[in-house]
Structure 1
């Protein structure tokens, strides 16, 4: 579980507008916005926020916390044939494992075929504490598929990890900054210089969900000595005190309240309206409906109704009209907070098709798969599970996967539809 940073400041922070800024700072902010826009062409790139933290019993030997939250038991089968799970939603391909190459392949192919440009991966550093090490391993695996598909990627760092390691005496206070420096050094050596990593004028971007632990001086320490120091983007009410380069927006829930469309649109517009003073990374989302209260963890953060897809449609439109250089969709697969756009049993492909249609409306030159083609990656995943003990058949399915990565959808379909799918 990630700790969602909410307080009354998030609702009113945009009313505190810094009127007097030096012309030098204003020019810097404008150049950052224009530079990324130029780098990614005229249409705003669409990136999805991705959680690589799921573990399943068939793959990892046990059901991970993000499927159970210590309350739900996936070994129990509900009357609708679905496993019990810590979510109001359920993946179309069933409960998966973030270390399963078949699941990662399926997700990345769905993104690619919908026209999505890249992935922002939620990352907990490199320490072997709780499931952080597994999340790091899963992220490395995911990046391989992202690059194979020709997509871009960036990292959203969770500095709350340091706080949790301190609270559990896994590290000492004296080691707190050093642990963060180790994580930043790893990023610098392995990802930040990668051609597939999202950059502004050659500088990689790094989102921070918060910050929740480090202070302004610490962030300078973490970036010191890096060959490619990243531009840092945090949540709106925390960026200035941290000395960050800009902010990224998130579904604006707080206090356990239901946020009406008028309210969340007003909050987003307030930030977009001041983007000339500070770079703002836009957000789009399908809704927000967390399971935390039902899981017995704490009160719900709040609710944003999906409204049959209208919330996603309207937040995409607002993001497109903003001066933001990119759009982050929150999220691909945070089942705990009910912000998913990946195909699920409740809405099917509705969200993914809406994103696909939005991308095509923004750029008439973009080529995406048909609606029928979008169903192929899930079929591939299901067939790989069905024939996992038959090497000859798996080789044919791997060929179908290669066709999908090469955008040869008819050739892939010919292979995939030659195999009957077993009903569950």
Structure 2
């Protein structure tokens, strides 16, 4: 059984392969020759031996002419299997000539689409490496990429017109490598200039960049920014009973009904960019926390149902703890916003014998399981505990008993204009969304004297309750300028040092700021601008691409490892390294 919860009132609720081959029917210097069909189907399944007998060291530079031994279809694939240049490895079927590039030596030429060269390497340490490739072309060249152990490892690169077959330029990309022996393959993808891709002198694989743990995204704003998050969403595959959770359905919506555009029927006027999700889905959590990070958020205020094992409280608590489990590795802090009303509802239903004892159990659980974590939010030297109310316990003596679970009192905040209901335990208040909108916020900021005063920002208010068959407020607040106005008011308030964004994902009330079909990334980019965050919508879109590839390659161990590394780079604010991995998949 689930409780029907109105959020406005209550929240419950091995070898590396690099291959390239050469066109025997072409001559160097751009002499025309026929372009053969792609030979991608001829990629060597097994590597030959490294040229010289020892795998090339990574980091290091590898000369293009030092491809693996084994001949055609093993060390390389060449359309004509002929050394047109007649230099260096004269019995091999790859065109090699002397080069006038710095350092002299040889280069590989007469290259055409579908050919490849393999190079066995030994990688000293796992990481995301910078790869530089020395190329030349008389006229516009073709495209190529690198494979690692038969899997694409870089985006396609285009050989530019360098104005001569011995006029050299260096191209750069990134490649993710694990430690140990691999085969890297230089694969030629397309040709333009008389059927030729270009000349290749060498490629270097530089020092690895590694993620060293979370790094804050720089911003100029000095106030702490927290986002209020609901952990209560379930899909039919996550709920445990085959049904969609009530916060997607309310009383009358059915997400199994899908329209012609692939949109599910949900209890909201707004639709998440990802589609309706399970709050405990690790891919969703990663996506949400990374978006928060790059929007300038410092931490998450999680709507916490308590510790009682009734109705949907255990599932919501499980989801909350899945969120907590990822906060530290993303560099975010967290705290809990308690729902004391949940205890009252459970007591009224005869599911618990004593309200105060149950609330004390909740506080003991919160203290022992959350506040001991290194990234739990500390405010004024004590752990921050917020209550969305109080709604059940309305006097100081009750809260004295409930908070006795803490040997040192927490920094306890209740909703605006309720501090008198929690006695001396109350250290301050936080405002929320109400029908009087800006006037109510102005009055709170200008006239309410408190030791601790939070600010709030929200995008608007438009509930689905009536349409969804639930009772609840029917008033609305417009969208448009509301979010930027409430943000600016909170930033400008002199005695406000902490801002709560309300909310990340309350779809039933229409207060969500996460990306939706209706609003896109607009709320997050507004935060970036307001808080002076050194990131933009492009990083947010990259995070969504990471999520999409997480879903696409779920269960593919190799791809999951690469995406794990990309997520680590994003947490470490190494965006280019993350993008190189994500865009290569």
TM category (shorter chain) comes to 0.7 to 0.9
How far residue 410 of structure 1 moved from its aligned partner, in angstroms, is 1.1
Q: Per the alignment, in what secondary structure is the counterpart of residue 204 of structure 1? A: strand
Instruction: Give the aligned partner of residue 338 of structure 1.
Output: 510
- Asked whether 1:218 is paired with 2:398, we answer yes
User: Are the equivalent residues in 1 in contact too, given 2:299–2:332 (CA < 8 A)?
Assistant: yes
In the alignment, structure 1 residue 250 sits paired with structure 2 residue 421: no
Following the alignment from structure 1 to structure 2, what is the Cα–Cα distance between the partners of residues 42 and 385? 34
Match of 1:326 among 491, 498, 506: 498
1:269 to 442, 450, 456: 442
- Name the residue aligned to 1:54: 233
Deviation at residue 202 of structure 1 after TM alignment: 1.3
Q: How does 1:155-304 map to 2 (within 5 A)?
A: 155-172=336-353, 175-215=354-394, 216-243=396-423, 244-253=426-435, 263-304=436-477
- Which sections of structure 1, spanning at least 5 residues, go unmatched? 7-40, 254-262, 361-366, 420-424
Residues 220 and 42 (structure 1), Cα distance of their counterparts in 2 relative to 1, 3 Å cut = farther
Q: 1:222 to 1:252 in 2, by over 3 A?
A: same
Give the CA deviation at 1:225. Answer: 4.3
Structure 1 pair 138/171, CA: closer, same or farther in 2 (3 Å)?
same
As a proportion of its length, which structure holds more strand?
Answer: 2
1:42–1:64 CA distance, 2 compared to 1 (3 A) = closer
Corresponding residue of 1:4:
8
Residues 403, 412 of structure 1: 8 Å contact kept: yes
Query: Is 1:81 aligned to 2:269, yes or no?
Result: no
Aligned-residue offset at 1:127: 1.3
**Aligned residues of 2:429 and 2:450 also touching (Cα < 8 A):** no
Question: Are the structure 2 counterparts of residues 42 and 54 from structure 1 closer, same or farther at C-alpha, using a change threshold of 3 Å?
Answer: closer
Q: Which residue of 1 aligns with 2:551?
A: 385
Q: 1:352 aligns with which of 501, 504, 524?
A: 524
Q: How far is 1:229 from its partner?
A: 2.1
- Alignment map for 1:38-187 (pairs within 5 Å): 43-60=222-239, 61-172=242-353, 175-187=354-366
Q: Which residue of 2 aligns with 1:306?
A: 479
The CA distance in 2 between the partners of 1:327 and 1:242, in whole Å, is 22
TM-score, reference length from structure 2: 0.60
Deviation at 1:301, TM superposition (A): 3.9
Larger proportion of helix:
1
**Max radius of gyration: which structure?**
2
- How far did 1:275 drift? 4.0
Residues 385, 412 of structure 2: 8 Å contact kept: yes
From the superposition, tell whether residues 217 and 2 of structure 1 become closer, same or farther in structure 2 (CA, over 3 Å): farther
Deviations 1:320-339 (A, max 9, x none): 11111200000000001100
- After superposing on structure 2, the runs of 4+ consecutive aligned residues of structure 1 that deviate more than 6 Å are none
Q: Aligned partners of 1:64 and 1:284: how far apart in 2?
A: 27
Report the CA distance shift for 1:403/1:112 in structure 2 as closer, same or farther (over 3 A): same
Farther-moved stretch of structure 1 (83-92 vs 367-376): 367-376
Contact 1:353 1:371 (8 Å CA) reproduced: yes
Query: Structure 1 residues 279, 416: closer, same or farther in 2, change over 3 A?
Result: same
Instruction: Report the CA distance shift for 1:42/1:411 in structure 2 as closer, same or farther (over 3 A).
Output: closer
**Which residue number corresponds to residue 410 of structure 1?**
576
Could you tell me whether the CA contact under 8 Å between 1:120 and 1:153 is conserved in 2? yes
**Worse-superposed segment, 193-202 or 342-351:** 193-202
Change (3 A) 1:242 1:201: closer
Report 1 or 2 for greater relative contact order, CA contacts < 8 Å, sequence distance ≥ 6: 1
1:3 deviation in Å? 5.0
Cα deviation, 1:285-331, whole Å, max 9, x if unaligned, reads: 00011111111111434200102xx1000000110111112000000
Compute the displacement of 1:150 (Å).
1.2
Secondary structure (helix, strand or coil) at the match of 2:467 reads coil
- How big is the shift at 1:276? 3.5
Shift of 1:269: 1.1
- 52-61 vs 77-86, which deviates more? 52-61
**What secondary structure sits across from 1:163 in the alignment?**
helix
Q: Specify every segment of 5 or more residues in structure 2 that has no aligned partner in the other structure, as ranges.
A: 11-219
CA contact (8 A) 2:221 2:531 kept: no
Q: Answer with 381-390 or 233-242: which moved more.
A: 233-242
Q: How many aligned residue pairs are there?
A: 366
The answer to whether the 8 Å contact 2:6/2:472 transfers is: no
